[in-house]
Amino acid sequence: MIRTTKSLLFLGLLAAGQTSCGEAKDCPYIYGQSITALKFKTDYTTPNGVSVDNSGFDVDLQAVDCVIDAADECLRDIGVLNRSVDRTCLQVLVAPDSHENPCVAGHQVFSCDLSYYPECRPGVERECPCACAGVVQDGDIMVTTPDLAALAHEYTHVATGLFDPFSKEVSYCADGVRPANCATFNSASVGQASSALTAAGCRSLVPLDEHPTTRRQCGR
């Protein structure tokens, strides 16, 4: 799955923060129940100012900036984001227990509390464990895996206050941007591309945490 799970009701707000000089700045913040409880510490700061806790994994800091920049531009192009988010507001936390999904080759996941789904409640036997590829914790921390596959999706939640399921156009920005394509991502063709994804059978509009182990990734 790629995002904050939705037993949460999300409200996108701008929270007043403080710069190092004491000047107030507007940072995006989403109210909702967290399904992870990870501690964040800044290990690195990207060239654009994003704080990153890599939890000991090898994370490409330039890819963090690239993915966020492409998603941000796409969201502004389709009119759901009025202005670019101050990158110094943003925090990316790579989940310390990130691992390969045992049921979906090439996909990384981490532990999260999905017990509000009947099939993920304690005691329910599953062939594949319930897990997450991305969530928003504490309103503004984007939790993801080392491959950053869900980063654009979580950034979309934080930056816009929108929650799943996204519209086709928003889903194209949120689920189409990856480290492998962010440098050349073309948001101008958002309408045609999102239609193509749907026509091809990708379940790009279904919240990933509703199908935490079986949903196909689109736009990779």
Q: Cα dist. 74→34, 86, 196 in Å?
A: 27, 16, 17
- Residue 184 has which token pair? 């050349």
Residue 196 pLDDT: 40
Alpha-carbon dihedral angle through residues 139, 144, 148, 149, given to the nearest 10 degrees: -100
pLDDT of residue 24: 60
Higher-pLDDT residue of 10, 87: 87
Mean pLDDT score, 60-82: 96
Q: What's the pLDDT score for residue 193?
A: 46
Please indicate whether residue 180 or residue 208 has the higher confidence score (pLDDT): 180
Quote the percentage of the chain above a pLDDT of 90: 60
Q: What is the pLDDT of residue 210?
A: 36
Residues 78-102 have a mean pLDDT of 95
pLDDT at 12: 34
Q: What is the pTM of this model?
A: 0.77
**∠ Cα 33 38 42 (to 5°):** 120
Distance CA 166, CA 160 (A): 11
Can you tell me the distance from the alpha carbon of 177 to that of 157, in angstroms, rounded to the nearest whole number? 14
Quick one: pLDDT at residue 201?
Answer: 32
More confident residue, 103 or 53: 53
Looking at per-residue pLDDT, the higher value among 23 and 170 belongs to: 170
Q: Above pLDDT 70, what percent of the chain?
A: 74
Contact 112, 98 (CB under 8 A): no
Of the given ranges (80-94, 135-149, 195-209), which has the lowest mean pLDDT?
195-209
Task: Report the 10 Å Cβ neighbour count for 207.
Answer: 20
The 10s digit of each residue's pLDDT in 108-154 is 999 999 998 899 998 888 888 899 999 999 999 999 999 999 999 99
pLDDT at 189: 59
Residue 71 C-alpha from the chain's centroid = 10
pLDDT band at 205 (very low <50, low <70, confident <90, very high): very low
Q: What is the pLDDT of residue 173?
A: 96
CA angle (62 as vertex; 42, 49 as ends), nearest 5? 45
